[in-house]
Amino acid sequence: MTIAVSTTVFPEPLVDPARLPDLEGIEAVEFSGGPPMDLEGFSALARAVHVAGVRHVLVHNYYPPPPAPFVLNFATADPAILERCLDLARDALAACALAGAPHWSFHPGYRRDGRELPDGHFAFDGEQASMEKTLSRFLANFPRLQALADVAGIPLVVENLFPKPGEVTSLCNTRRELLETFDALPAGTGFLLDLGHWNVSARVLGFDRDRELDRLLDTLAPRLREVHLSANTGLADDHLPLERGDWQLDVLPRLRGTRAVFTLESRRLPPAVLRRTLEVIKDAL
């Protein structure tokens, strides 16, 4: 059973092999977001974290970040945006192959294309497609992504997303949406369960968080490849540290028999808080 930390947990972006954070006792690191990075720079970072004692490296979603930022959206109807998404996927899959990562996990997409704001959040413009149309576009675009993954020899893993209060922009927010999506994807496509996202979806959309999660896992547990952990208020994806008593910790024992990597995705934690949070997760598992 592997416990990983996202690069987002560190106070500073992980960009310089000569200036790594304290990685003692950390068995896996998942590279995610941050400043622009090329494959050569990533390869040097991956080697450096291995030398520092990290056994496993993973790659998640928008990584390595390109010089010109954009919002990754595999459900886009815009051919130019799709090409940018596929270019990023090609680099991400190459990074996975370089580092020996077990898979590439990513967000499925949105009902309209977005842009990144200075604070890192997204703004979405234009007319919003129906959920049915958005899923149809994602499934139509997916074979091109799968072809890249096949060439790289890296499995694909799709993550659940979440709505904002008053606006559902993303795919895969609910059990029904996830099951409909995975029913249409190749059998080898894995599932990343983000429990923070699930908490927001349940609060905003008003469904029973625990009961619906149990029903979801009844079907998708065999495809589970990763779990993202971070606390929030239920109204936004706050990426807070987990404390003892958090509901997410009660879910973990059920997942012991799966193939999942458990990844802490809190943001900018002081070293002492990071160590304490990892101990909380280890105790729950």
3-state secondary structure the chain: CCEEEEHHHCCCCCCCCCCCCCCCCCCEEEEECCCCCCHHHHHHHHHHHHHCCCCEEEEECCCCCCCCCCCCCCCCCCHHHHHHHHHHHHHHHHHHHHHCCCCEEECCCECCCEEECCCCCEEECCCCCCHHHHHHHHHHHHHHHHHHHHHHCCCEEEECCCCECCECCECCCCHHHHHHHHHHCCCCCEEEEEHHHHHHHHHHHCCCHHHHHHHHHHHHHHHEEEEEECECCCCCCCCECCCCCCHHHHHHHHHCCCCCEEEECCCCCCHHHHHHHHHHHHHHC
In single-letter form, the type of residue at position 42 comes to F
pLDDT of 119 reads 72
Phi, psi of 121 (to 5 degrees): -80, 170
- pLDDT in the model for residue 80: 98
Q: What is the pLDDT of residue 121?
A: 72
Q: Is 27 left (phi over 0), alpha (psi -120 to 50) or beta?
A: alpha
Q: Show the domains of the chain with their CATH numbers.
A: 7-220 (3.20.20.150)
Q: How many CB atoms lie within 10 A of CB 25?
A: 11
Task: Report pLDDT for 114.
Answer: 85
Say what the pLDDT of residue 127 is. 86
Sorted by sequence, the CB contacts under 8 Å of residue 185 that are 6+ apart come out as: 139, 142, 158
Q: What is the pLDDT along the chain (285 residues), one digit of tens a residue?
A: 899 999 999 999 999 999 999 999 999 999 999 999 999 999 999 999 999 999 999 999 999 999 999 999 999 999 999 999 999 999 999 999 999 999 999 999 999 998 877 776 778 888 899 999 999 999 999 999 999 999 999 999 999 999 999 999 999 999 999 999 999 999 999 999 999 999 999 999 999 999 999 999 999 999 999 999 999 999 999 999 999 999 999 999 999 999 999 999 999 999 999 999 999 999 999
pTM for this model (two decimals) = 0.97
